[in-house]
Chain A
Amino acid sequence: SQQGEEDPQALSIQEGENATMNCSYKTSINNLQWYRQNSGRGLVHLILIRSNEREKHSGRLRVTLDTSKKSSSLLITASRAADTASYFCATDSPNFGNEKLTFGTGTRLTIIP
């Protein structure tokens, strides 16, 4: 079963604009990670945020985590055509370390040149 739900399911924006995706999850977590997947390809790790962190940056990416609301957001600034992909959040359980990641259903992002 899917732990997380990404919102929106699909997002189309103009190149150069910022894209924000949200993820909600159901149970306590150790860490939350965001992955990108180009069509028909494997997943590429983007960023990891620990449960005791509230915000993290990596290049054009900004991730926030609100454990009280069991939600996270991924912001991609100054979007580029190459950012077109599906984005997934993934959580692990305190009971399992990160042996098992539980993924959301993903947000499909389209950047219009």
Chain B
Amino acid sequence: DTGVSQNPRHKITKRGQNVTFRCDPISEHNRLYWYRQTLGQGPEFLTYFQNEAQLEKSRLLSDRFSAERPKGSFSTLEIQRTEQGDSAMYLCASSSPIKFRTGNTIYFGEGSWLTVV
């Protein structure tokens, strides 16, 4: 079990530049999630995929953000024209299919820190 892998772990970029983060979920997990976490706060949901389909997007995901999961395996999160307010940790997570009203554990990666200067 290699766990959820994210890279890069740290990224410093100048305001206005584009950045892309990659997430490799646990291999048998068909659900993949992106969360954002700022200092002193809990993670906030951004979006999730079931296989390659993006099924829900938060209002936090502005049009500068785009997430893809082209073959239902790894996912990328791109932020265009970065702003200082985008500075945060971006967390990826994955899980197995769930049954109605039974809980399922979501496994998180170590996160990708973004600093926009």
Contact = CB atoms under 8 A, between A and B. Distances in A.
A34 to B, nearest CB: 11
Interface residues of B, number: 30
B52 interface: no
B45 A101 contact: yes
Interface band, chain A? 20 to 34
Contacts of B31: 99
B85 interface: no
Interface stretch (B14-22, B63-71, B76-84, B93-101): B93-101
Interface in A31-80: 31, 33, 35, 40-45, 48, 50-51
Given A99-B31, A99-B55, A43 B103 contact: no
B26 interface: no
Nearest to B45: A100
**Closest 3 interchain pairs by CB?**
A103-B42, A31-B103, A42-B110
Interface of A: 2, 4, 30-31, 33, 35, 40-45, 48, 50-51, 88, 90, 92, 94, 96-106
